[in-house]
């Protein structure tokens, strides 16, 4: 059996191709206790993003005004323009929804990505129940830009997790080289990104979902 610093490499952890020693495994467990919630959020975000990306690939055309379906309107606090009409719900969690909307503007249409919060949340009480994230007069470009932005948010969140793990291990194991433990946690975070990379190889439109951490 392969050994490292006299210890056998015998422990497997999710997403990591190698095996950890007992010391590394203990450090890994302690690090995961600190970042478990963040890792779960990241993996769930990547899963949701991948699902939306797949849906976006299959969209033949986007909803437009004049559809026979009942369309719900939403107003933004402080916005004097026309109410936004909700065309599609892009994602929904216990605390927020991401909505694809449109409204008349001049002789054409304006499209927007809007985040709607629970009415009793602290953010909603301070800033209103909805916020415009981005707008465009081209719905497909808007969707693509939004998706790219959300993919970048996931990548930044992953780097924050890695930094937290490094700080945690440095405090608990000063002077020890636990780079393999950091890589093991990072590889676990990347499990969700593998779906996105596969989608990137076949997509005709990029996608992502807004996540508020």
**Which pLDDT score, from 0 to 100, does residue 196 have?**
58
Q: pLDDT grade, residue 181 (50/70/90)?
A: very high
Task: Specify the residue for token string 């010391």.
Answer: 23
pLDDT band at 60 (very low <50, low <70, confident <90, very high): low
Helix axes 22-58, 139-172, angle to 10 degrees: 180
Per-residue model confidence as pLDDT tens digits over 83-106: 999 988 888 887 889 999 999 988
Mean pLDDT computed over every residue of the chain: 84
The predicted structure's pLDDT at residue 198: 53
The helix (run of H) or strand (run of E) holding residue 9 is none
Cα dihedral across residues 127, 130, 134, 136: positive or negative: negative
Q: Is the pLDDT of residue 206 over 70?
A: no
Asked whether the CA dihedral 154, 157, 159, 162 is positive or negative, the reply is negative
Q: What is the mean pLDDT of residues 55-79?
A: 67
CB atoms within 10 A of CB 28: 23
Q: How distant, in Å, are the alpha carbons of 75, 84, 86, 112 from that of 128?
A: 10, 15, 17, 17
Identify which has the larger pLDDT, 207 or 149: 149
| pTM, entire model | 0.76
pLDDT in tens, 116-136: 998 888 878 887 889 999 999
């Amino acid at each position: 059996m392969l050994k490292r610093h006299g210890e056998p490499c015998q422990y497997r952890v999710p997403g990591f191709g190698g095996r950890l020693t007992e010391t590394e495994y203990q450090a890994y467990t302690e690090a995961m206790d600190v970042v478990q919630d963040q890792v779960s959020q990241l993996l769930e975000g990547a899963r949701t993003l991948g699902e939306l990306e797949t849906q976006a690939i299959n969209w033949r055309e986007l909803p437009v005004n004049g559809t026979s379906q009942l369309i719900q309107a939403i107003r933004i606090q402080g916005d004097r323009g026309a109410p936004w009409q909700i065309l599609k719900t892009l994602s929904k969690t216990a605390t927020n929804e991401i909505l694809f909307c449109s409204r008349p503007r001049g002789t054409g249409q304006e499209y927007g990505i809007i985040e709607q919060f629970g009415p009793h949340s602290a953010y909603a009480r301070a800033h209103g129940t909805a916020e415009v994230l981005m707008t465009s007069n081209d719905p497909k470009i808007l969707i693509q830009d939004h998706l790219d932005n959300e993919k970048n948010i996931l990548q930044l969140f992953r780097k924050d997790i890695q930094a937290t793990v490094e700080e945690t291990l440095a405090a608990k194991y000063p002077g020890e080289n636990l780079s393999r433990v950091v890589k093991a946690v990072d590889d676990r975070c990347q499990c969700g990104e593998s779906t996105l990379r596969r989608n990137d190889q076949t997509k005709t439109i990029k996608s992502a979902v807004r996540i508020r951490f």
